[in-house]
Amino acid sequence: MPVSLSAVPPHPEDCRLSEFAAAVLEGLSSSPRALPCRFFYDARGSELFEAITRLPEYYLTRAETAILEGGAEDLLASVEPGATLIEFGSGSSRKTELLLGSGRFAVYTPIDVSSTALADAAARLRRRFPALAITPLVADFTADLRLTGACGTAPAVGFFPGSTIGNFNPWDARALLRRMGALLGPDGRLVIGVDLRKDRERLIAAYNDAAGVTAAFNLNLLARMRRDLDARVDLDAFAHRTLYNETLGRIEMHLVSLAPQRIDVAGQSFAFAAGETIHTESSYKHTPEGFAALAAAAGWRTRRILTDDEKLFAVMLLETD
């Protein structure tokens, strides 16, 4: 019987909705105001993210794809046939096809908060890899995940692409990597995509594209409040803002209030002055050595560091110590 995963507790749709309401109330009550970026990804948010990955300014997906096209065999050389691949924040699972194409995996468990992205990806992958057992899990990968059922003989390999680890500050990233290590077990391996430090202009353009797709993605958080929570909020009175915080080495995305106004949501009313912001996402940029040190502090040894020709992005193979 293959490895399977369960989230503890499970996340039925209605439970996720009230979780969104609770996060909005907490985030708009805090100072400075902030919302967790995982709430970007409802069906519309996942669609917009896919559009972002095709933008000329968004080098991340192209660079990571190029690395995996040339390096998947190398990264997976020690993986026994019949292994399980567990992906954290799988989205469309496009890059995953480059790992699944190796033929080494018998089971694929994509995990994502976006049920529509998971369902679309699973349907496509079932057509392309009919012999692969695909067991998607709608869950928050920061939750307490457990392997259930009899674990097969091969250990599980984790895949965490897309620079999603960059959404976590170094302390939370360390804690998350430690939990992933515990989940994947003593011979665990993790293939992880890490965005690298580079010049400010290139970074800012990737999160503030000329066509305004990233702005629509950011504003979708407010649109989602309207759709899911019946919020009263004027989308035209907020603007997308991107900045690079050089001291912390992170891109920040904010929603800026363009005028004095209120957001009414979940029975509460929040006043905004003109210029007041909601911090909606951070994306930490690393050096390969700095990320290897962070991973080491979470119990992972770095086995391989692959980069693209321009050294924009790194895919690293980690093994549990």
Which residues sit at the interface with ligand SAM, rule CB under 6 A? 38, 41, 46, 49, 53, 61, 89-91, 95, 111-114, 117, 140-142, 161-162, 164
Nearer to ligand SAM among residue 48 and residue 292 (C-beta) = 48
- In sequence order, what are the residues at sequence separation of 6 or more whose Cβ sits closer than 8 angstroms to the Cβ of residue 106? 2, 81, 82, 83, 84, 132, 133, 152, 154
Nearer to ligand SAM among residue 41 and residue 207 (C-beta) = 41
Element (H, E) at 28: helix 13-29
Beta carbon of residue 157, minimum distance to ligand SAM (angstroms, whole number): 15
Q: In what order do the strands lie in the sheet with 277-284?
A: 33-34, 277-284, 250-257, 238-245
Nearest in space to 39 (alpha carbons), one of 255, 257, 318: 255
Rounded to whole angstroms, the Cα distance separating 143 from 137 reads: 12
Nearer to ligand SAM among residue 5 and residue 272 (C-beta) = 5
Rounded to whole angstroms, the Cα distance separating 194 from 77 reads: 20
Beta carbon of residue 52, minimum distance to ligand SAM (angstroms, whole number): 9
Task: Give residue for tokens 């040339």.
Answer: 70
Beta carbon of residue 49, minimum distance to ligand SAM (angstroms, whole number): 6
Beta carbon of residue 280, minimum distance to ligand SAM (angstroms, whole number): 13
Nearer to ligand SAM among residue 38 and residue 250 (C-beta) = 38
Nearer to ligand SAM among residue 214 and residue 320 (C-beta) = 214
Nearer to ligand SAM among residue 58 and residue 272 (C-beta) = 58
Beta carbon of residue 41, minimum distance to ligand SAM (angstroms, whole number): 3
Per DSSP bridges, beta strands 4-8 and 144-148 are: antiparallel
First to last CA, the chain: 27
Chain centroid offset of residue 212 CA: 21
Beta carbon of residue 93, minimum distance to ligand SAM (angstroms, whole number): 7
